[in-house]
Each structure stands twice: as structure tokens, then as C-alpha cells.
């Protein structure tokens, strides 16, 4: 997959134009802001401590390398030139190579307007293209938004 490639666009329920695309290097600051805003609000994520800029550089460089090798499927949602959500499908290996695990994170202020639903639809479509037949979503039992999507 090519970094920055546009997958789809749609209008959110609140009227904002959202673009779904593959991440790129220029997303570094927005992705760092996204993860750290989720940590600050104590959102339904496993991370409890903020990420440093160096840590995010390390993560993004690995993510882009895995994306180029088709080892994982990453997608971001952008509006007004800023990333407001991130998602991924990580395929399993061996006898479970037909199974992928979905992860999704949406910044506060952009939830409940259809971003997660549209991201999931695109992830499912992309998963089928790369041969995945089963998708699982790992989330906390109390994360009703994730379960709903």
C-alpha cells in the first residue's frame, strides 16, 4: 500500500468533509496529538502514558515500513488538513493468516458522527481484498461506541 493514498471521502453527520487515506510522514504531529489526547482523556485504550515525539517517530517509521510491505493495513481519517482518527488491521500468521485484528481510535469531538462506521466499512472491504476472512475487534467491555460500530 502506498503512504498517503486516498481510499474514500464522505460527509460526516455534522457536515464535515472527511477523507480516509493511508498515513504518511507528514501526519506525525497529528498522530502524536491524537494518541496523547486519548491518554489525557483516559479513553478506552491500553496506553496509560503519553507518547514522546521520538516514540511516535519510531512507531510511524515502523508503521509505514509495514504498510509498504503489505504486512498491515493502516488508515487515517482527515478533516481540514488534520488527522482526527486512526485505524488498522493486523493480520495474524500461521494457521490464522485469514484472521485480522482491528484497532481504531477517534479524537474527542469527532465521535458519533459516522467516522468510525465509515472507517470500519473501508477496513472490511480492504481486508477482503488482501484475503482476510475473519476480523476481530479488541476493545474494553465498557467501550459501548466500539461495540456498537
Q: pLDDT (tens digit, 9 = 90+) per residue, 45-67?
A: 778 899 999 999 999 999 999 88
Where are the domains positioned within the chain? 6-148
pLDDT at 143: 79
pTM over 0.85: yes
pLDDT at 89: 93
pLDDT at 142: 78
pLDDT at 44: 76
Q: What span, in angstroms and rounded, lies between the C-alpha atoms of 103 and 20?
A: 15
Q: Which residues of the chain have pLDDT under 50?
A: none
CATH topology for 6-148 is: Aminopeptidase (3.40.630)
Q: Give percent helix, percent strand, percent coil of the chain, each to the nearest 5.
A: 35, 25, 35
pLDDT at 9: 96
Amino acid at each position: 500500500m502506498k503512504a498517503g493514498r486516498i481510499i474514500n471521502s464522505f460527509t460526516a453527520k455534522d457536515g464535515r468533509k472527511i477523507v480516509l487515506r493511508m498515513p504518511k510522514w507528514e501526519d506525525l504531529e497529528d498522530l502524536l496529538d491524537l494518541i496523547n489526547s486519548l491518554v489525557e482523556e483516559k479513553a478506552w485504550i491500553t496506553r496509560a502514558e503519553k507518547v514522546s515525539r521520538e516514540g511516535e517517530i519510531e512507531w510511524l517509521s515502523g508503521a509505514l515500513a509495514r504498510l509498504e510491505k503489505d504486512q498491515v493495513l493502516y488508515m487515517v481519517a482527515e478533516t481540514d488538513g488534520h488527522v482526527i482518527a486512526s485505524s488498522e488491521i493486523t493480520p495474524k500468521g500461521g494457521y490464522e493468516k485469514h484472521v485480522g485484528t482491528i484497532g481504531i481510535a477517534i479524537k474527542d469531538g469527532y465521535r458519533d458522527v459516522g467516522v468510525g462506521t465509515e472507517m470500519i466499512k473501508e477496513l472490511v472491504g480492504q481486508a477482503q481484498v488482501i484475503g482476510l476472512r475473519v476480523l476481530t475487534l479488541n476493545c474494553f467491555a465498557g467501550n459501548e461506541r466500539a461495540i456498537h460500530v
